[in-house]
Amino acid sequence: MTLFRRPLLALPAAALARPALAQAPWPNGPIRIIAPFPPGGSVDTICRLLQPHLAADLGVPVVIENRPGASGAIGTAVLARSQADGNSWAMVFDTHAVNPALISNPGFDTRRDLVPVMLVGTSPMLITTHNSRPWRNLQDVIAAAKARPDTLTYGSIGNGSLAHLTMSLMQQQGDFRVVHVPYRGGGPMSAAAAAGELDMPMATNAGLGGQVGQTLRPLAQTGGRRSPLFPDLPTVAESGIPGIDSLAWWAAIGRAGTPAPILARFHAALAKALAVPEVRARLSGPLGIDIVGSTPEAFGAFLDTQMDIWGRVVRDNNIRPD
């Protein structure tokens, strides 16, 4: 993303200019990072990869608190209700940009109650097929879908997920129709993919559980340009459907009103943790994540754009959570 239009912090100039020494000492006790998804998923995994390095740098315990439910909205609401003292943060997934349009009353206002800290990383979703299927590329699948509308299936981690929204957009752009099979999370969808129950399992490399290149054949990736982690795999646009630039992403957010020096200190600790070679190797290897480590301004602009794009897709396609 190259559009940067969101300010770093919604704080008065006097607050931004106030030196760190004028604030109460921070950190002054345990810090919690809310993971609004269950243990074992990609958000939880990233939190636990960063946890020991954050604790070492900040000099206080860092506790991971799993608060799953409602595509991450339940845990995010916990952060929105917390004190703006720098003792609570959250790691969110791409559903964070979709939830405002998908959930009528999430319990918080994304722009008013929360503040962007860092876009940690992104990953294209992979459109795949089981090795038992005959298709070798996305064009083959689209041709089959046009020949037999509403018969081929694709799987996602749920209604309103980024895969669901992206395939909805692809069907509009490519003039074909396939059947959505939503699962309640990555585990069930990955199991169905391994069993060959779906024509097109669709998720990130991490979400597909290491099956890509094994039981699953990749057909295309959903980013606007090829990921360096999948340099030989064409994008959806290269495969004949223009206008698709869809990335899964992970990011850190804070409570609006958190003092600027605290936000800056936590951002610096995150950047330092992401620079650890072992952390980078784990994120880019098994998880298939392109590390970004953005500024708050860049993440704020990225988030605004994502909310606009996917909110429009939700409304145009009348998508509901269930």
Q: Considering 206, 221, 236, which residue would you say is the last residue of a domain?
A: 221
State which of 169, 204, 221 marks the end of a domain.
Answer: 221
- State the total domains in the chain: 2
Strands 247-255 and 114-124, sheet pairing: antiparallel
- Which amino acid would we find at residue 89? W
- Other C-beta atoms closer than 10 Å to the C-beta of 39 total 13
Locate 205 and state its tokens.
Answer: 């490399």
24 against 220, higher pLDDT: 220
- Tell me, yes or no, whether 294 lies in a domain: yes
Same structural domain for residues 136 and 285?
A: no
Distance CA 70, CA 226 (A): 31
Residue 24: per-residue pLDDT: 62
CATH of residue 74: 3.40.190.150
CATH code, domain carrying 174: 3.40.190.10
Residues 115 and 144 in one domain: no
Of the pLDDT bands very low, low, confident and very high (cuts 50, 70, 90), residue 11 is very low
252 residue type, one letter: A
Instruction: Examine the fold and report which residue of 177, 202, 221 is the final residue of a domain before the chain moves on.
Output: 221
Residue 147 has pLDDT above 60, yes or no: yes
112 with 158, same domain: the answer is no
Residues 74 and 148 grouped into a single domain: no
Cis bond leading into 38, ω under 30°?
no
Full domain range(s) for residue 63: 31-123+248-316
Please, which contacts does 20-23 make with residues 24 or more away whose CB atoms are closer than 8 Å?
A: 20/261, 20/265, 23/259, 23/261, 23/262
| Residue 45 belongs to some domain of the structure | yes
Mean pLDDT value across residues 19-36:
78
Q: Which of these, 33, 38, 25, lies nearest to 55 by C-alpha position?
A: 33
9-31 in b/e form (b: 16+ CB < 10 A) is: bebeeeeeeeeeeeeeebbeeeb
> Tens digits of per-residue pLDDT, 243-284?
999 999 999 999 999 999 999 999 999 999 999 999 999 999
Question: pLDDT: is 2 or 135 the higher one?
Answer: 135
Is 15 within a domain? no
pTM of the model: 0.84
The model's confidence at residue 120, banded by pLDDT at 50, 70 and 90, is very high
Contacts 24+ apart (CB under 8 A), 285-288: 286/206, 286/210, 287/42, 287/45, 287/46, 287/123, 287/205, 287/206, 288/123, 288/204, 288/205, 288/206, 288/227, 288/229, 288/230
